[in-house]
Amino acid sequence: MFSTLRRLALLGTGMALLSGCSVSPWVAPYERHYLADPIMAFEMDPVAAGYMNHVYEAREAARGAEGGSGGGCGCN
């Protein structure tokens, strides 16, 4: 439990430090039209993606780190 929290804290601190190294945002808001396209979303529909993660989690031992769409269902 403790080591988990410590790992998360270390990760967060590392990322914060990394972001501090950069100079300024290199992709301006008006340059993001490609990224704003719905086809560029990691998941077009988070609910449907969550279902697929649920299927994988039920049939495979691995779990977690599915990203924004999340996973897990509070079931076994």
Partner 1 sequence: MYHSYSGGGVTIDGPSILVRKNVGNSVSLSANYYVDMISGASIDVEATASPYSEQRDEYSLGADYLVDKTTVSIGYTNSSENDYQAETVAFGISQAFFGELSTLDMRVSFGNDDVFRNGDPDFAADAQHRRYAVNWNQILTTKLIAELSVETVADEGFLNNPYRTVRYADPASALGFSYQPEIYPTTRNSDAVALRAKYRLPYRAAIRAEYRRYADSWGVEADNIEFRYTHPLREQDEWILEGKLRFYQQDAADFYSDLFPYRDATNFRARDKELSNFSDISIGIGVAYVLPERWSLFDRKNTINFYWDHILFEYDDFRDVTVHNPENTIAPGEEPGYSFGANVIRLFWSVRL
Count of residues in contact with partner 1, rule CB under 8 A: 50
Could you tell me if 76 and 57 are in contact, meaning their C-beta atoms sit under 8 angstroms apart? no
Token reading at 51: 């279902």
| Count of residues making up the chain | 76
Beta-carbon-side half-sphere exposure of residue 69 (alpha carbons within 13 Å): 15
Binding string, 35-74, against partner 1, x = CB under 8 A? x-xxxx-x-xx-xx--xx--xx-xxxxxxxxxxx-x-xxx
Structure tokens at 47: 């609910």
21 is a site residue for partner 1 (CB under 8 A): no
Residues that bind partner 1 (CB under 8 A): 1, 4-5, 7-8, 11-12, 15, 19, 22, 24-29, 31-32, 34-35, 37-40, 42, 44-45, 47-48, 51-52, 55-56, 58-68, 70, 72-76
